[in-house]
Amino acid sequence: MKKYYFIILSFLLFTWGCEKEITVDLPEYKSKLVIEGSIETGTYAEVKLSKSIPYFEPIDTNAVNNILIGGDEATVIVSDNNQTDTLTYFNHGGFKIFKGTKIIGEAGKTYYLKVIYNGKTYTATTTIPYAVPIDSIKFYPDPRHDIDTLGFLWIYAKDPDTLGNNYRILSKTLGKDFIFVHPDMSVDEDKFYNGQTMEFSIYRGRNIMQQDLYDEEGRDSLGIKWYYFVMGETVVVKFCSLDRKSFMFWHTAEQQQASNGNPFASPVTPYTNINGGALGIWGGYGVYLDTVHITPDIVKR
Protein backbone atom coordinates (compact mmCIF):
# COMPACT_ATOMS: atom_id res chain seq x y z
CA MET A 1 0.00 0.00 0.00
CA LYS A 2 2.84 2.42 0.86
CA LYS A 3 4.59 1.67 -2.42
CA TYR A 4 1.44 2.40 -4.41
CA TYR A 5 0.95 5.72 -2.60
CA PHE A 6 4.59 6.68 -3.23
CA ILE A 7 4.25 6.04 -6.96
CA ILE A 8 1.19 8.26 -7.16
CA LEU A 9 2.83 11.00 -5.11
CA SER A 10 5.96 10.90 -7.27
CA PHE A 11 3.85 11.17 -10.39
CA LEU A 12 2.02 14.23 -9.04
CA LEU A 13 5.25 15.95 -8.01
CA PHE A 14 6.82 15.26 -11.38
CA THR A 15 3.90 16.67 -13.36
CA TRP A 16 3.61 19.70 -11.11
CA GLY A 17 7.30 20.53 -11.42
CA CYS A 18 7.29 20.18 -15.23
CA GLU A 19 3.99 21.86 -15.97
CA LYS A 20 3.49 22.60 -19.66
CA GLU A 21 0.35 23.24 -21.64
CA ILE A 22 -0.17 20.62 -24.33
CA THR A 23 -2.83 20.71 -27.02
CA VAL A 24 -3.90 17.38 -28.50
CA ASP A 25 -5.92 17.25 -31.69
CA LEU A 26 -8.19 14.22 -31.41
CA PRO A 27 -9.20 12.54 -34.67
CA GLU A 28 -12.81 12.83 -35.78
CA TYR A 29 -14.90 10.16 -34.07
CA LYS A 30 -16.64 7.63 -36.31
CA SER A 31 -19.47 5.74 -34.70
CA LYS A 32 -19.70 1.95 -35.19
CA LEU A 33 -22.58 -0.47 -34.98
CA VAL A 34 -22.73 -2.34 -31.67
CA ILE A 35 -24.49 -5.71 -31.58
CA GLU A 36 -25.48 -7.49 -28.36
CA GLY A 37 -27.23 -10.70 -29.32
CA SER A 38 -27.99 -13.94 -27.54
CA ILE A 39 -29.81 -17.22 -27.93
CA GLU A 40 -30.37 -19.39 -24.86
CA THR A 41 -31.60 -22.90 -24.27
CA GLY A 42 -35.39 -22.95 -24.39
CA THR A 43 -35.85 -19.37 -25.64
CA TYR A 44 -35.89 -17.35 -28.84
CA ALA A 45 -33.02 -15.14 -29.96
CA GLU A 46 -32.79 -11.54 -28.74
CA VAL A 47 -30.66 -8.81 -30.31
CA LYS A 48 -30.07 -5.21 -29.27
CA LEU A 49 -28.49 -2.78 -31.73
CA SER A 50 -26.88 0.54 -30.88
CA LYS A 51 -24.27 3.03 -32.04
CA SER A 52 -20.95 3.44 -30.26
CA ILE A 53 -20.24 6.81 -28.65
CA PRO A 54 -17.00 8.70 -27.91
CA TYR A 55 -14.98 7.58 -24.87
CA PHE A 56 -15.62 10.77 -22.87
CA GLU A 57 -19.31 11.02 -23.71
CA PRO A 58 -21.50 10.89 -20.56
CA ILE A 59 -23.72 7.80 -20.25
CA ASP A 60 -27.20 8.09 -18.76
CA THR A 61 -30.73 6.93 -19.58
CA ASN A 62 -31.23 9.61 -22.24
CA ALA A 63 -27.91 8.77 -23.90
CA VAL A 64 -28.83 5.08 -24.02
CA ASN A 65 -32.21 5.82 -25.61
CA ASN A 66 -30.59 8.03 -28.25
CA ILE A 67 -28.06 5.44 -29.42
CA LEU A 68 -30.43 2.46 -29.64
CA ILE A 69 -31.34 1.38 -33.19
CA GLY A 70 -34.92 0.50 -34.11
CA GLY A 71 -36.67 -1.79 -36.57
CA ASP A 72 -37.07 0.88 -39.24
CA GLU A 73 -33.27 1.11 -39.48
CA ALA A 74 -32.08 -2.51 -39.47
CA THR A 75 -33.00 -6.10 -40.33
CA VAL A 76 -31.92 -8.95 -38.05
CA ILE A 77 -31.94 -12.60 -39.17
CA VAL A 78 -31.10 -15.74 -37.19
CA SER A 79 -30.75 -19.19 -38.75
CA ASP A 80 -29.64 -22.72 -37.98
CA ASN A 81 -29.11 -25.55 -40.44
CA ASN A 82 -32.87 -26.05 -40.84
CA GLN A 83 -34.77 -22.77 -40.77
CA THR A 84 -34.48 -18.97 -40.86
CA ASP A 85 -36.07 -16.46 -38.50
CA THR A 86 -36.36 -12.73 -39.27
CA LEU A 87 -36.56 -11.17 -35.82
CA THR A 88 -39.49 -8.96 -34.83
CA TYR A 89 -38.79 -5.47 -33.50
CA PHE A 90 -40.27 -4.33 -30.17
CA ASN A 91 -40.11 -0.95 -28.46
CA HIS A 92 -40.98 -1.13 -24.76
CA GLY A 93 -40.99 2.46 -23.53
CA GLY A 94 -37.83 3.34 -25.44
CA PHE A 95 -36.11 0.00 -24.80
CA LYS A 96 -35.58 -1.28 -28.33
CA ILE A 97 -35.02 -4.97 -29.01
CA PHE A 98 -35.35 -7.54 -31.80
CA LYS A 99 -36.86 -10.91 -30.81
CA GLY A 100 -37.17 -14.22 -32.62
CA THR A 101 -40.42 -16.15 -33.08
CA LYS A 102 -39.38 -19.39 -34.81
CA ILE A 103 -36.06 -20.83 -33.63
CA ILE A 104 -35.71 -21.96 -30.02
CA GLY A 105 -32.21 -22.47 -28.63
CA GLU A 106 -30.98 -26.02 -28.05
CA ALA A 107 -27.76 -27.15 -26.38
CA GLY A 108 -25.12 -28.41 -28.80
CA LYS A 109 -26.54 -26.57 -31.83
CA THR A 110 -24.92 -23.78 -33.89
CA TYR A 111 -26.72 -20.54 -34.78
CA TYR A 112 -25.93 -17.88 -37.37
CA LEU A 113 -26.65 -14.16 -37.11
CA LYS A 114 -27.01 -11.65 -39.94
CA VAL A 115 -27.61 -7.93 -39.37
CA ILE A 116 -28.27 -5.54 -42.27
CA TYR A 117 -27.78 -1.89 -41.33
CA ASN A 118 -26.99 1.19 -43.43
CA GLY A 119 -26.44 -0.93 -46.52
CA LYS A 120 -23.86 -3.16 -44.81
CA THR A 121 -24.13 -6.79 -43.68
CA TYR A 122 -22.65 -8.09 -40.42
CA THR A 123 -22.45 -11.79 -39.49
CA ALA A 124 -21.53 -14.01 -36.56
CA THR A 125 -21.73 -17.64 -35.43
CA THR A 126 -22.19 -19.18 -31.99
CA THR A 127 -22.86 -22.56 -30.39
CA ILE A 128 -24.89 -23.21 -27.23
CA PRO A 129 -22.96 -25.31 -24.66
CA TYR A 130 -24.69 -27.73 -22.29
CA ALA A 131 -25.81 -26.15 -19.02
CA VAL A 132 -24.17 -27.02 -15.70
CA PRO A 133 -26.63 -27.30 -12.78
CA ILE A 134 -26.33 -25.37 -9.51
CA ASP A 135 -25.88 -27.63 -6.49
CA SER A 136 -26.83 -25.08 -3.82
CA ILE A 137 -27.07 -21.37 -3.00
CA LYS A 138 -26.15 -19.73 0.31
CA PHE A 139 -26.62 -16.21 1.73
CA TYR A 140 -23.58 -14.54 3.29
CA PRO A 141 -24.25 -11.42 5.40
CA ASP A 142 -21.72 -8.65 4.75
CA PRO A 143 -19.27 -8.80 7.70
CA ARG A 144 -18.51 -5.10 7.23
CA HIS A 145 -22.12 -4.19 7.97
CA ASP A 146 -23.77 -4.19 11.39
CA ILE A 147 -27.06 -5.46 9.90
CA ASP A 148 -26.97 -9.21 9.23
CA THR A 149 -29.91 -9.10 6.79
CA LEU A 150 -27.82 -7.48 4.04
CA GLY A 151 -25.30 -9.52 2.07
CA PHE A 152 -24.31 -11.57 -0.96
CA LEU A 153 -25.10 -14.89 -2.58
CA TRP A 154 -22.70 -17.83 -2.81
CA ILE A 155 -23.33 -20.31 -5.62
CA TYR A 156 -21.96 -23.87 -5.65
CA ALA A 157 -21.75 -26.11 -8.76
CA LYS A 158 -19.72 -29.08 -10.01
CA ASP A 159 -17.50 -28.35 -13.02
CA PRO A 160 -17.37 -31.15 -15.65
CA ASP A 161 -14.02 -32.95 -15.96
CA THR A 162 -13.45 -31.57 -19.48
CA LEU A 163 -11.17 -28.51 -19.46
CA GLY A 164 -12.42 -25.37 -21.19
CA ASN A 165 -15.79 -24.64 -19.57
CA ASN A 166 -16.78 -20.99 -19.19
CA TYR A 167 -19.46 -19.46 -16.99
CA ARG A 168 -21.47 -16.28 -16.47
CA ILE A 169 -23.77 -15.47 -13.52
CA LEU A 170 -26.71 -13.06 -13.48
CA SER A 171 -29.59 -12.55 -11.07
CA LYS A 172 -33.07 -11.07 -10.88
CA THR A 173 -34.49 -9.94 -7.54
CA LEU A 174 -38.26 -10.32 -7.80
CA GLY A 175 -40.05 -7.04 -7.18
CA LYS A 176 -36.91 -5.02 -7.90
CA ASP A 177 -35.32 -6.05 -11.20
CA PHE A 178 -37.32 -6.29 -14.42
CA ILE A 179 -34.37 -7.87 -16.27
CA PHE A 180 -31.46 -10.09 -15.24
CA VAL A 181 -28.54 -8.00 -13.97
CA HIS A 182 -24.92 -8.95 -13.38
CA PRO A 183 -22.05 -7.85 -11.12
CA ASP A 184 -19.11 -6.00 -12.64
CA MET A 185 -17.15 -9.25 -12.94
CA SER A 186 -19.70 -11.85 -14.03
CA VAL A 187 -17.62 -14.44 -15.94
CA ASP A 188 -15.16 -17.15 -14.97
CA GLU A 189 -13.38 -20.15 -16.49
CA ASP A 190 -12.43 -23.57 -15.13
CA LYS A 191 -8.68 -23.20 -15.67
CA PHE A 192 -7.93 -23.59 -11.96
CA TYR A 193 -10.71 -25.95 -10.84
CA ASN A 194 -11.39 -28.31 -13.72
CA GLY A 195 -13.62 -31.18 -12.55
CA GLN A 196 -13.94 -29.73 -9.03
CA THR A 197 -16.72 -28.07 -7.03
CA MET A 198 -16.92 -24.39 -7.92
CA GLU A 199 -17.77 -21.60 -5.51
CA PHE A 200 -18.90 -18.18 -6.78
CA SER A 201 -19.85 -15.15 -4.70
CA ILE A 202 -21.97 -12.43 -6.30
CA TYR A 203 -23.62 -9.16 -5.37
CA ARG A 204 -26.73 -7.77 -7.03
CA GLY A 205 -26.04 -6.07 -10.36
CA ARG A 206 -27.42 -2.74 -11.48
CA ASN A 207 -29.58 -1.86 -14.49
CA ILE A 208 -28.79 1.55 -16.00
CA MET A 209 -32.44 1.85 -17.10
CA GLN A 210 -33.49 1.83 -13.40
CA GLN A 211 -31.14 4.58 -12.19
CA ASP A 212 -34.08 6.73 -11.09
CA LEU A 213 -34.87 4.25 -8.29
CA TYR A 214 -31.76 5.30 -6.35
CA ASP A 215 -30.42 8.49 -4.80
CA GLU A 216 -26.97 9.92 -5.51
CA GLU A 217 -25.33 7.46 -3.10
CA GLY A 218 -27.05 4.45 -4.64
CA ARG A 219 -29.68 3.91 -1.94
CA ASP A 220 -33.26 2.93 -2.67
CA SER A 221 -36.41 4.25 -0.95
CA LEU A 222 -35.66 2.05 2.09
CA GLY A 223 -32.10 3.32 2.37
CA ILE A 224 -30.53 0.07 1.15
CA LYS A 225 -27.50 0.14 -1.14
CA TRP A 226 -28.26 -1.23 -4.60
CA TYR A 227 -25.67 -4.04 -4.50
CA TYR A 228 -27.10 -5.91 -1.49
CA PHE A 229 -29.36 -8.93 -1.47
CA VAL A 230 -31.76 -8.66 1.47
CA MET A 231 -33.14 -11.26 3.87
CA GLY A 232 -36.70 -12.12 2.82
CA GLU A 233 -36.17 -11.45 -0.88
CA THR A 234 -36.68 -14.02 -3.62
CA VAL A 235 -33.91 -14.14 -6.23
CA VAL A 236 -33.70 -16.00 -9.53
CA VAL A 237 -30.09 -16.96 -10.29
CA LYS A 238 -29.13 -17.48 -13.94
CA PHE A 239 -26.06 -19.70 -14.29
CA CYS A 240 -24.85 -19.71 -17.92
CA SER A 241 -22.40 -21.92 -19.76
CA LEU A 242 -20.91 -20.07 -22.74
CA ASP A 243 -18.40 -20.70 -25.49
CA ARG A 244 -14.87 -19.29 -25.46
CA LYS A 245 -15.60 -16.33 -27.75
CA SER A 246 -18.52 -15.20 -25.61
CA PHE A 247 -16.37 -15.54 -22.49
CA MET A 248 -13.61 -13.44 -24.07
CA PHE A 249 -16.08 -10.69 -24.98
CA TRP A 250 -17.55 -10.36 -21.48
CA HIS A 251 -14.16 -10.78 -19.81
CA THR A 252 -12.53 -7.99 -21.82
CA ALA A 253 -15.62 -5.76 -21.70
CA GLU A 254 -15.72 -5.99 -17.91
CA GLN A 255 -11.96 -5.38 -17.71
CA GLN A 256 -12.43 -2.23 -19.75
CA GLN A 257 -15.24 -1.04 -17.51
CA ALA A 258 -13.17 -1.69 -14.38
CA SER A 259 -10.20 0.31 -15.73
CA ASN A 260 -12.20 3.43 -16.68
CA GLY A 261 -10.77 6.46 -14.95
CA ASN A 262 -7.60 4.67 -13.81
CA PRO A 263 -4.53 6.39 -15.33
CA PHE A 264 -2.30 3.43 -14.42
CA ALA A 265 -4.47 0.72 -16.00
CA SER A 266 -3.55 -0.76 -19.36
CA PRO A 267 -6.14 -0.04 -22.07
CA VAL A 268 -8.36 -2.98 -22.94
CA THR A 269 -10.12 -3.48 -26.26
CA PRO A 270 -13.22 -5.69 -25.88
CA TYR A 271 -13.12 -8.88 -27.94
CA THR A 272 -15.79 -9.31 -30.64
CA ASN A 273 -16.95 -12.24 -32.77
CA ILE A 274 -18.88 -10.01 -35.20
CA ASN A 275 -17.65 -10.01 -38.81
CA GLY A 276 -17.96 -6.88 -40.95
CA GLY A 277 -16.55 -4.18 -38.70
CA ALA A 278 -19.17 -3.98 -35.95
CA LEU A 279 -18.52 -4.32 -32.22
CA GLY A 280 -20.20 -6.64 -29.74
CA ILE A 281 -21.17 -10.26 -29.34
CA TRP A 282 -23.48 -12.95 -30.69
CA GLY A 283 -23.50 -15.52 -27.91
CA GLY A 284 -25.10 -18.88 -27.23
CA TYR A 285 -25.86 -19.69 -23.58
CA GLY A 286 -26.69 -22.96 -21.88
CA VAL A 287 -28.85 -21.70 -19.01
CA TYR A 288 -29.63 -23.22 -15.63
CA LEU A 289 -32.16 -21.25 -13.53
CA ASP A 290 -32.52 -21.61 -9.77
CA THR A 291 -34.87 -19.63 -7.53
CA VAL A 292 -33.89 -19.03 -3.92
CA HIS A 293 -35.85 -17.42 -1.09
CA ILE A 294 -33.40 -15.79 1.28
CA THR A 295 -34.16 -17.11 4.77
CA PRO A 296 -32.02 -17.73 7.89
CA ASP A 297 -31.70 -21.43 7.07
CA ILE A 298 -29.55 -20.74 3.96
CA VAL A 299 -27.10 -18.39 5.71
CA LYS A 300 -23.47 -19.35 5.05
CA ARG A 301 -21.74 -20.12 8.35
Do 51 and 94 have their domain in common? yes
Do 121 and 200 have their domain in common? no
User: How big is the chain, counted in residues?
Assistant: 301
Do 156 and 197 have their domain in common? yes
- What pLDDT score does 261 carry? 53
- What pLDDT score does 3 carry? 31
Instruction: Confirm if 98 and 47 have CB atoms less than 8 A apart.
Output: yes
C-alpha span between 58 and 76 (Å, rounded): 28
Which of the listed residues 99, 127, 155 is the one where a domain comes to its end?
127
Q: Per the domain annotation, does 252 fall within a domain?
A: yes
- What pLDDT score does 36 carry? 95
Question: Could you give the 3-state DSSP secondary structure of residue 37?
Answer: strand
Q: What is the 3-state secondary structure (H, E, C) of 244-275?
A: HHHHHHHHHHHHHHHHCCCCCCCCCCCCCCCE
* Domain assignment of residue 112, given as a range: 33-127
pLDDT in tens, 127-176: 999 999 999 999 999 998 888 999 999 999 999 999 999 999 999 999 99
**CATH at residue 194:** 2.60.40.10
Which of the listed residues 109, 127, 145 is the one where a domain comes to its end?
127
Do 188 and 262 have their domain in common? yes
Instruction: Confirm if 230 and 294 have CB atoms less than 8 A apart.
Output: yes
- What pLDDT score does 95 carry? 75
pLDDT in tens, 2-35: 332 222 333 333 334 455 565 555 556 678 899 9
Do 159 and 289 have their domain in common? yes
C-alpha span between 281 and 286 (Å, rounded): 16
Which of the listed residues 127, 154, 177 is the one where a domain comes to its end?
127
Q: Per the domain annotation, does 21 fall within a domain?
A: no
Which residues in the chain come in under a pLDDT of 70? Answer: 1-29, 53-66, 93-94, 259-268
- What pLDDT score does 128 carry? 98
- What pLDDT score does 31 carry? 81
